[in-house]
Structure 1
Amino acid sequence: MKKNKKIIGFSILAIVLVFVGKYVYDMNINHNFEIITEGKVYKSGMIPPNQIEDYVKEFHIKSIVDLRMPGTNDLILNPEKPGELMAEKIAVAKIGGVNYFSNPSDQIPTKKNIEIFTKIMDNKANYPILIHCYHGTGRAELYSAIYRIEYENFTNEDARSGVRTLIKWSSFDDGKPKGDYLKAYKSRKQIEAEKK
């Protein structure tokens, strides 16, 4: 009996360590970098300015869309500071040949945010594009889903579930602002079709 309790205890500890290790890797080493569409669109959290060039070169990124919105006093979802944005902008300018687009967005985009975003994404010369926010798990995923709906004809549900594992009580779940936003989102094609 004692041996079984030890095995269960070690198993639980191992599982916890795996999850903690993955979290540390994703947030601090990989910066939640993911491929949305190979060779076209990528998403991430904030990449330190001294590492941006490595990602740009490896993935041939031509444009960076920065969704961070400093000054909200939300230290959990929007902990960014103006100096961080400027440091990134300067680092990107030093690389040369890479566009830096600032589209400060709250957790739920405004109509203006979507207009700016689609204008950037409409320009084929901007690709490959990196979309990023602070953590890479909220706004960057939301905008990645919008990209898929607008440009890759994903259904809203496929786009929503394709950028985030839908688990109960996650920010993309039913009844949560991001989940409900994506479920109700209408692409420009849908809006035009409804006008006819």
Structure 2
Amino acid sequence: MSKKAKIIGLSIFGVLMILVCKYVYDMNINHNFETITEGKVYKSGVIPPDQIASYVKEYHIKSIVDLRMPGTNDLVLNPEIPGELQAEKTAVAKIGGVNYFSNPSEQVPNKENIAVFTKIMDNKDNYPVLIHCYHGTGRAEMYAALYRIEYESFTNEAARQGVRTLITFSSFDDGTPKGEYLKAYKSRSELASKQ
């Protein structure tokens, strides 16, 4: 094998190792925690109950919106079990001064989910808010995009692009249920202006 081929091979291996390490860190250490709007809205995957208090303290979180939906038999997108939800709720109750809101949602929200979500987000006393689902890469990102459309006047496309990790091969791409939902979503102010 030539020296050039070895360098290329080692470079590819190095990039792959960096990507694997980032994935492991994001999923298992940082729990896909991300700032949506500094001091107002954050999103994540499941944070273990014994670590929730540290996130609440560091980011001054006053409310947690849990989007997990157990009992769907979808072990890929919704692998939640009721005991995990109760453990989180109990951990949050011990912190004091933090609201816990359960808004069980499929990957694409329904009207009831949106009504519950906007009621929570309309109340300024609930901020800063942590929105989370199981992985932090589907429902949490969907609701983060909806927050940006409803409360920060993002266009649907800007909000959709903001949740796409990759340029393509995202669950928010054109033609995917989540991508099409965000493209077609009508904010409350948009609906009110048409009446």
Q: Same fold (TM over 0.5)?
A: yes
Say whether residues 1:191 and 2:191 are aligned partners.
yes
Separation in 2, partners of 1:168, 1:175: 11
Aligned to 1:95: 95
Instruction: Detail structure 1 runs of 4+ shifted over 4 Å in the superposition.
Output: none
Partner of 1:192, secondary structure, is helix
Q: Tell me how far 1:4 sits from its aligned partner.
A: 1.3
Q: Tell me how far 1:168 sits from its aligned partner.
A: 1.8
Amino acid at match of 1:148: R
Contact 2:80 2:134 in 1 (8 A): yes
Gaps of 5+ in 2: none
Partner of 1:130, secondary structure, is strand
Separation in 1, partners of 2:94, 2:184: 40
Aligned to 1:77: 77
State percent identity of aligned pairs: 76
Aligned to 2:151: 151
Partner of 2:173, secondary structure, is coil
Q: Tell me how far 1:115 sits from its aligned partner.
A: 0.2
Amino acid at match of 1:164: R
Separation in 2, partners of 1:5, 1:132: 44
Partner of 1:101, secondary structure, is strand
Amino acid at match of 1:12: I
Partner of 1:46, secondary structure, is coil
Aligned to 1:29: 29
Amino acid at match of 1:61: I
Contact 2:164 2:170 in 1 (8 A): no
Partner of 2:194, secondary structure, is helix
How is 1:15-164 mapped onto 2 (pairs within 5 angstroms)?
15-164=15-164
* 1:98-124 residue CA offsets vs partner (Å, 9 max, x unmatched): 000000000000100000000000000
Separation in 2, partners of 1:75, 1:18: 27
Q: Count how many residue pairs are aligned between Structure 1 and Structure 2.
A: 195
Partner of 1:73, secondary structure, is coil
Question: Which is further off, 3-12 or 182-191?
Answer: 3-12
Separation in 2, partners of 1:151, 1:11: 43
Partner of 1:147, secondary structure, is helix
Contact 1:43 1:130 in 2 (8 A): yes
TM-score for the superposition, normalised by structure 2: 0.98
Amino acid at match of 2:53: E
Contact 1:166 1:173 in 2 (8 A): no
* 1:107-145 residue CA offsets vs partner (Å, 9 max, x unmatched): 000100000000000000000000000000000000000
Q: Tell me how far 1:166 sits from its aligned partner.
A: 4.4
Separation in 1, partners of 2:190, 2:42: 25
Separation in 2, partners of 1:6, 1:54: 45
Amino acid at match of 1:24: V
Amino acid at match of 1:98: V
User: RMSD across aligned C-alpha pairs, in angstroms?
Assistant: 0.8
Partner of 2:35, secondary structure, is strand
Q: Tell me how far 1:91 sits from its aligned partner.
A: 0.1
Partner of 1:31, secondary structure, is coil
Gaps of 5+ in 1: none
